[in-house]
Amino acid sequence: MRILVVEDEDRIRRDLRTHLQAAGYVVQEAGDGEEAWFLGDTEEFDAVVLDLGLPKLDGLTVLKRWRDAGRNFPILVLTARSSWTDRVEGIDAGADDYLVKPFRMEELIARCRALIRRSAGRASPVLQAGPLLLDTSRARAVVDGEPIALSPLEYRLLSYLLHHRGRVVSRVELVEHIYHDDVEPDSNALEVLVGRVRRKIGANLIETRRGHGYLVSVE
């Protein structure tokens, strides 16, 4: 899962990146409104954490421009403003959730998980495909009642496919959403990764659609 973090304060942005990566997310950063608007307008994200008090272009303007352009990723707004009128303005502009500074990182991560689930049409934090259960709140997987060990990358692969269960996910989309930006996987790295995961969860849960991508069926 890929999250864009937009925050002009370096310390807060670093903390957000560190905690979100530890929770299993791929993080892209922006330190001002113009950079944020460009990234959100040209790249795909599963969620955005957006501070309102940004230089160059304020967060509310960025939010409105994204929504006017049809960008529909879920957005969690951060602000130092505690007035309810500010929160209403942000939500009316297209924000999906609001968090007032200072906040607990655990709460922010929980809110991001919920936003991504709802965006994918999943209400429960536990995602299921046949004998596989993936608890996204604890980053744990169980097959036929037995826990299985997953690397962070294997977990991100399973989580993305299960969030988009019933849809063929292309190789390009998977690479964009599960690998960190500083990693350039080899041409067959994704196939090797899928093979490792299949050996742990069962060979039939992840289907390969030749020339198209991968699918976890709804059946």
Which is higher by pLDDT, 84 or 193?
193
Residue 164 Rama label (left phi>0; alpha psi -120 to 50; beta) = alpha
Q: What does pLDDT average to over the chain?
A: 92
- Residues 30, 36, 42, CA angle at the centre, nearest 5°? 120
Using the predicted structure, report yes or no on whether residue 36 has a pLDDT greater than 70: yes
Q: Is the pLDDT of residue 158 over 90?
A: yes
pLDDT score for 205 = 93
Q: Which segment of 44-53, 95-104, 179-188 scores lowest on mean pLDDT?
A: 179-188
Q: What is the model's pLDDT at position 27?
A: 96
* Domains in the chain: boundaries: 2-119, 126-215
CATH T-level assignment (fold) for domain 2-119: Rossmann fold (3.40.50)
Cα 3 to chain centroid distance, Å, stands at: 5
Instruction: Sort strands 26-30 and 2-6 into parallel, antiparallel or unpaired.
Output: parallel
Confidence of residue 9 (pLDDT cuts 50, 70, 90): very high
Angstrom distances, CA of residue 94 to CA of 60, 80, 97: 9, 18, 9
pLDDT score of 82: 64
Q: What pLDDT, on a 0 to 100 scale, did the predictor assign at position 70?
A: 95
The 10s digit of each residue's pLDDT in 94-141 is 999 999 888 999 999 999 999 999 998 888 899 999 999 999 988 999
SS (H, E, C) 141-178: EEECCEEECCCHHHHHHHHHHHHCCCCCECHHHHHHHH
pLDDT at 214 > cutoff 70: yes
CB hemisphere CA count around 1 (13 angstroms): 31
pLDDT band at 79; cut points 50, 70, 90: confident
With a cut of 70, say whether residue 173 has pLDDT above it. Answer: yes
Which residues, 6+ apart, have CB-to-CB distance to 55 below 8 Å? 8, 32, 33
Choose between 183 and 208: higher pLDDT.
Answer: 208
Tell me, what's the pLDDT at 180?
86
Please state, as a whole number, how many other Cβ atoms lie within 10 Å of the Cβ of residue 127. 21
Q: Which residues pair with 207 in a beta bridge?
A: 215
Which pair of structure tokens corresponds to residue 152?
């962070």
- Averaged pLDDT, 30-59: 95
Report which of 122, 132, 214, 129 is spatially closest to residue 167, judged by C-alpha positions. 214
Closest Cα to residue 8, out of 55, 78, 45, 49? 55
Q: Residue 84: what pLDDT?
A: 67
126-215 domain in CATH 3.40.50.300? Answer: no
In the chain, what percentage of residues exceed pLDDT 90? 76
Give pLDDT, residue 120.
87
pTM, full prediction: 0.86
Give the model's confidence band at 87: pLDDT under 50 very low, under 70 low, under 90 confident, else very high: confident
